[in-house]
Amino acid sequence: MKAVAVCICVCFCALFTSSLSANTLSIKVHSPDQSGLYIIGHTPPLSMDSPIELMRRGDNYQLSLWLPSTQTGQTIRYQLVTLNTANQPATQLGQAPDIVHEPIQGFRQTKLSGSHTQATHTFGVPDTINFDQVDKFTPAQLQADLAIVNTAFTQVHAGATRYLDDTQLAQLFSQTKQEFAKALSVKDAYLSFSKLAAGLRCGHTHTGMYNQSAFIDQLTLAPANKLPLLFQNIQDRWYITHNLSDKSIISPGTEIIAINNIEVATINAQLDPYWSVDGDNDARKRYLTQLLPTSSRQLFDAYFPLLLGPEKAGQDSGNTSYKLTLRLPNSGRQLIVDVDGLTLKQRQNVLYQQQPELADARNSLQFSTLQNNPIGYLKIGTFATYNIDFDWSEFYAQAFERFNSQSVEHLIIDIRGNGGGLDLPMLQLGQYLSSTVNQSLPFTPMRPFANIPEAIKPYLKTWDQRLYTQTSMAMPTLEPVAQTFTGKVWLLVDGANASATFMLAKHYQDAGIATIVGQPTGGNLRGINGGGMFFLTLPNTQIEIDIPIFKYLPTGVEATELQSISNQGLTPDILMPLQVNDIQQQKDGVLEQLVERINNL
């Protein structure tokens, strides 16, 4: 987008009557690192094409806007931008520079509150919004957004009726429409659309936490309502792994019995309808119902506080406190502890103080040898290598050069916690294990709907514009490998493996190139949806839903045979469940069990 920068200074006292000056908006933005800051929007005098420059005052930028066609109570939406002139060719001097949008999703918004409204922002940081003061969505707004979702699910989504029939899908929308017969708050609308998305029983269809508008991010990400601890879910019981609160009595292995007098069993049941999993995959639901030591955002942090996180009395900042009923390890003694909620950033900072290595995602990819070299260990915590500065091709080359040169006999590949990512690094790994493994894959992608309805195109985004017309998925080009690994391969899995890593585990099990060890995976043996994604942002509620456009079908299986396949993820060849004692002792008991098993062969 090109635009001409407009610099204005607005003064109202002597020029306009009191009735006009009532509709003014004063904006202050903290931005010490920017050399110039501008604003765009739809409400005159704002324009999406002609940025208005803010005046710098030290580390802040300020501007007062007169909004002649507005009234008290109206919501003004706008975006903060900078202008890029650094790389402008000399032949284009004098032309409009590029507009560079602030690195947050969607529009900022301010509700005109009276004779003069003030708004304060920090550049690049979403605003804190008091949602109690935000107008509810009307039934007309909600149902208009619901109609868009209906079109997306029935004419774009790859597998809306994969685990539902047409009647069940219609009932799902009918139930949601009934909820939308009355005005709903932002929170209730978000939860309704989240439950609708999860109702498809597709692990790639959800409201998510990475592609939401800035408005919804303030609902799910910004408040200090996150539990100040991390826990693992073992057979629907919650055991604390990391205490990030200021209460030192909480130690690893402490069991959470209840939160705010609500028993964990009840919390599990209330969260259940919001988890997007493939088919009837209970292992995946159990995996999602926990908080783990990771830099990634976790859906538990979005849904749990909205459903079960009451605000502190007398506080308007969104802070919360939680009353935890706990059972201490070893003694079995129960006690009640009050802890303050944290923001995601606060909790992350405390976690990084305890485990600094977690701050760098590259530490989730590592290799080593164990037991004086006969056992190799390859940890692959993510295939989403586009998010990190990491040369995964060189990483593989170095790892397998060491394994081969040191005559490693057993190789443990650990993909626990790896939700998936790119196909290329996933498939390239197989090249190091077998020269023929990628010649036949366990699932075949297909796209049911190649044409996108024009009516919803304005609400769709994606990272690759080819997805608007692409009808097939080509096999990526893989690098040749000089020497494949000839020893025994063990693959460690868990409920995180629901996308590319689920297909990898199924691939290795079918091909017989690895023994699968650990806990049941995510995904579904009848196939999953994914491959390419659209991000559907609804115009009224600003809620985003992920829409997968390819479905993966079991290779060589007829549609009539799908019902005979288990409606779950992959079951490991060797089950090794999590143990509470391992949490208490802060050790990786599953890995230790596997190493011991190998040593005893």
> Tokens 């601890």 — which residue?
229
In a domain, 347, yes or no: no
The long-range contacts involving 146-151, CB below 8 angstroms and separated by at least 24 positions, are: 146/173, 146/176, 146/177, 146/180, 146/196, 148/455, 148/456, 148/459, 148/536, 148/538, 148/539, 149/193, 149/196, 149/536, 149/538, 149/545, 151/453, 151/455, 151/456
Question: 529-537 and 52-53: which strand pairing?
Answer: unpaired
Backbone angles phi, psi at 341, to 5 degrees: -70, 155
The pLDDT value given to residue 132 = 76
The pLDDT value given to residue 95 = 64
How far, in Å, CA of 128 to CA of 360, rounded? 27
CA-wise closest residue to 506 among 577, 555, 562: 555
* Bridge partners for 98 per DSSP: 2, 84
Residue 319 DSSP one-character state: -
Spatial strand order in the sheet of 544-554: 443-446, 544-554, 529-537, 460-461
The pLDDT value given to residue 55 = 95
The pLDDT value given to residue 22 = 57
Is 281 in contact with 522 (CB distance < 8 Å)? yes
pLDDT tens-digit profile of 450-473?
A: 899 999 999 999 988 899 999 998
**Secondary structure percentages of the chain, helix, strand, coil, to 5:** 30, 25, 45
In a domain, 210, yes or no: no
* Last residue in a domain, options 92, 125, 158: 125
Per-residue pLDDT averaged across 500-513, rounded?
A: 96
The pLDDT value given to residue 296 = 86
In a domain, 584, yes or no: yes
The pLDDT value given to residue 317 = 45
Any idea what the CATH number is for the domain that residue 56 is in? 2.60.40.10
pTM: 0.83
Report whether pLDDT(177) > 80. Answer: yes
In a domain, 152, yes or no: no
In a domain, 234, yes or no: no
What is the count of structural domains for the chain? 2
What confidence tier does 94 reach under pLDDT thresholds 50, 70, 90? Answer: low
In a domain, 194, yes or no: no
For 406-442, b/e burial (b = at least 16 CB within 10 A) is eebbbbbbbbbbbbbbbbbbbbbbbbbbbeebbeebb
Is 152 in contact with 160 (CB distance < 8 Å)? no
CA dist 479 → 203, 435, 466, 474 (Å):
31, 11, 24, 15
In a domain, 324, yes or no: no
The pLDDT value given to residue 312 = 39
Per-residue pLDDT averaged across 204-229, rounded?
A: 90
The pLDDT value given to residue 1 = 43
In a domain, 274, yes or no: no
pLDDT tens-digit profile of 103-147?
A: 776 788 888 888 799 999 988 877 777 787 788 999 999 999 999
Spatial strand order in the sheet of 24-30: 55-57, 60-66, 24-30, 117-122
Is 302 in contact with 209 (CB distance < 8 Å)? yes
Q: Identify the helix (H) or strand (E) that includes residue 459.
A: none
CA-wise closest residue to 182 among 154, 150, 140: 140
Per-residue pLDDT averaged across 520-545, rounded?
A: 96
* Last residue in a domain, options 90, 125, 160: 125
The pLDDT value given to residue 201 = 97
Q: Whole domain around residue 502: which residue ranges?
A: 359-599
* Last residue in a domain, options 103, 125, 147: 125
Q: Identify the helix (H) or strand (E) that includes residue 28.
A: strand 24-30
**Number of residues that this document lists for the chain:** 601
The pLDDT value given to residue 390 = 85
* Bridge partners for 231 per DSSP: 240, 291
For 178-193, b/e burial (b = at least 16 CB within 10 A) is ebbeeebebbbbbbbb
Report whether pLDDT(276) > 50. Answer: yes
Which carries the bigger pLDDT value, residue 487 or residue 222?
487
Any idea what the CATH number is for the domain that residue 595 is in? 3.90.226.10
